[in-house]
Structure formats: structure tokens, C-alpha cells
Amino acid sequence: MGEGSPRANGAANVTMTDVARAVGVSPALVSIVMRGVPGASPATRARVRQAAAELGYVPDRRAQALRQQGPRSLGVAFQPDQEFHAGVVDGIYAAAEETGYEVVLSAVTPLRPEARAISTLLANRCGALLLIGSTLSAAELSREAARLPVVVIARQGRAKDVEFVCSDDEAGLVSAVRYLVGLGHRQIAYLSSYRSGSGPQRLHGYRKAMAEVGLGDLTDVVTAGSTEQSGALAAVGLLERPSLPTAVIAFNDRCLAGVHGMLLKRGVQVPQDVSLVGFDDSEIASQPQHRFTSVHQDIEWLGQTAAHNAISRIEGRDDLHRPQVVPTRLVVRESAGPPRRT
């Protein structure tokens, strides 16, 4: 109502100087106390801490960063609607905060392209760029990498000065195919995701494995995607065929969940009629209505490795975590079994 001021905050922003005045010491001393570095007597420390708490003082990170020498933050571009990214972000936080680095998040959404997310990060002078599932071209990535360390997560590729940290997608798919072949399957279809970061590697793993076990001419790739929706649609396509494949591997668990739902709806039994294998070993896979056999990837470790490597590069060290291709392993549950005898 009678609030004419442009600043309606109940409490004005408390600065270091305010705390210093309250205690009757110099600002520099407050700085020393707040950072926990040596150079203040225990008595002063206590008084400063108390005054800070009473005034509700929180050090201004932006001013700190501005004054400090090297960059001490990691810029992360991620997609908030991909729950896969959540795990990676968690891993990054774990590794970064442990090392005293701050994490600066920038979302990529339908309305907010990756380039925009990156320029925000750059404007915040983060020391490195961690791009989860980036869709930038190798040239674009290298252009950024000329400026600061760039780590691309969950996508394979090659680009000058750019690090790629990802799971061993190819080996994961190979293990899935081998497992199904071991159960006696021959007609093994693969639902691919053309646009996902690791799409090409998984597809390649499938092709390679099928060829290796002598089923090259039964190779059966169906274009799907990375969502339940795409899986359900792909399943409809499969159901329209004269006969179903005996096993289906999907790009990821979400896609497979769509397949599973649609198959159940049409009365197809899993694994009796069709065996199903997913990828990610996400929560979906372990849910009681699915119980998917799935290729596990260590998502948090992906994030931690990426953060660790980014920090190494920022600090000019060369102790990059290896392998940057993180191993995968097949987790067996109940969605795959031997094929019906013909």
C-alpha cells in the first residue's frame, strides 16, 4: 500500500562491513573468520560468528568470486525434464562441493536453447563447461573449448580440446545381445533413438553383436526414441507385423516401459511371448510391474568423473580420471527368458 520504495525487503542486505562495525573490528578480520582461515583469535572468532548469525549475514559469493583469482565454479548445462540428467547433476554436486567448487546450473528447455544456456554460464565466469547430452556440433564444442575446459557428458564423440565422459554404451548393448542369444533367441529387434547422445554407440553395439554371433542378416532396427511414448508407438508397429520378434532391446528403460505397457494392453505375455531388455537400469527397471533386465550404467559416477576432470583441467593438472568410458553391466531381472519353442 503505502510502499513507495522500490526495495520492499524486510531486511536490507547485510554486508561484511556491517558485521565488522557491530563487533568493532575491521572488515578484513570478518573475512578471515567467515572463511575459516587462520589469523584470528578464538575469542574474536566467536564474537564475529555470533554477530554474523544475529544479523543474518551471508557472504556475497559474487563479490568473493570477483575478487578471487582463479575461477572456482563449474558451469553445468542440463535438461530438467530428463530424469537421467538428475543423477549426473547429483554426481557433479558431490564431487564439486567436496573440492570447494560451486556448481552453476543452466537449464536447456524447449524454450531455451543450449547456446543460451552456455552464454549464461560464460557470463557467470565459470571455470569449465559441463554439458550433459550436448547437441552441439564438434566444431561448436571446440570453439568453446578454446576459451575454457569443456566436458561433454553422456555422449560420445571427438572434438579438439573437448573431453567426453560416457558409459560404455557399445559394450552394454553387446552384453544384452549375447545374453539373449545365450537364452536361445535369434530374432532380436533393437529400438533405437536416433537423436540421443549415446544413440549411435548403442546402435553400433547391437549391429556388431548381431554380426559376431552370426545373426547379421536378422538385424532388425526400429526407429523409436527415448520416451515411453516412442516405445509404445514402436510396439504398435511391431504388433502389426505378421509375427513378433522373440526379443526386443530398447534404447533405454523409459522406451521399454512404453513397449511393455502396449504389449500388455494387447495381451502379449512378457517374457513368455516376447523377452525385453532395457538400458540404464533406472528406477523404472526395478519397478514391480516391469522388473526389466537392463544394462546398468553408473550415472552418478559419470557426473563425478566429469566434475573431477573439469577441475583437474581448470587447475592445470593432468590427473584425469580414467576410464572416461565408464563400464556397464547387465542386471538380470524377469523381463527376459528363453523363447517359446517353435
Partner DNA sequence: CTGAAAGCGCTAACAT
Partner DNA sequence: ATGTTAGCGCTTTCAG
Using CB under 7 A as the binding rule, the residues of this chain from 42 to 71 that contact DNA are: 42-44, 57, 59-60, 63-64, 66-69
By a kind-dependent CB cut-off of 5 to 8 A, residue 26 interacts, out of DNA, a copy of itself, none, with DNA
Q: Shortest approach of DNA to residue 63 CB, angstroms?
A: 3
The one among 19, 262, 310, 330 contacting a copy of itself by CB under 8 A: 262
Residue 43 touches which of a copy of itself, DNA, none (Cβ within 5-8 Å per kind): DNA
- Give the residue with the Cβ less far from DNA, 16 or 131: 16
25 or 132, CB closer to DNA? 25
User: To which residue does cell 544475529 refer?
Assistant: 54
Residue 39 binds which entry of a copy of itself, DNA, none, CB below 5-8 Å type-dependent:
DNA
Smallest gap from Cβ 24 to DNA, in A, equals 7
Among 125, 186, 204, 296, binds a copy of itself (CB under 8 A): 125
Q: Which of 29, 152, 153, 257 binds DNA (CB under 7 A)?
A: 29
Cα distance between residue 77 and residue 74, in whole Å = 10
Minimum CB–partner distance for residue 262 and a copy of itself (Å): 4
Rounded distance between C-alpha atoms, residue 101 and residue 186, angstroms:
50
Partner whose binding site includes residue 70, from a copy of itself, DNA, none (CB under 5 to 8 Å by kind): a copy of itself
315 binds, options a copy of itself, DNA, none, Cβ within 5 to 8 A by partner type? a copy of itself
The answer to the question of residue 11 lying near DNA (CB under 7 A) is no
Residues 60-99 interacting with a copy of itself (rule: CB under 8 A): 60-63, 65-66, 70, 78-81, 83, 85-87, 89-90, 93-94
Q: Hey, which residues between 271 and 310 contact a copy of itself (CB under 8 A)?
A: 283-284, 286-290
Shortest CA distance to 294 belongs to which of 249, 342, 227? 249
Report the C-alpha gap between 233 and 162 in whole angstroms. 36
Q: Is 239 in the site for a copy of itself (CB under 8 A)?
A: no
Task: State phi, psi for 181 to the nearest 5 degrees.
Answer: -60, -40
320 binds a copy of itself (CB under 8 A): no
In the complex, which residues of this chain contact DNA (CB under 7 A)?
A: 13, 15-17, 24-29, 31-32, 34-35, 38-44, 57, 59-60, 63-64, 66-69
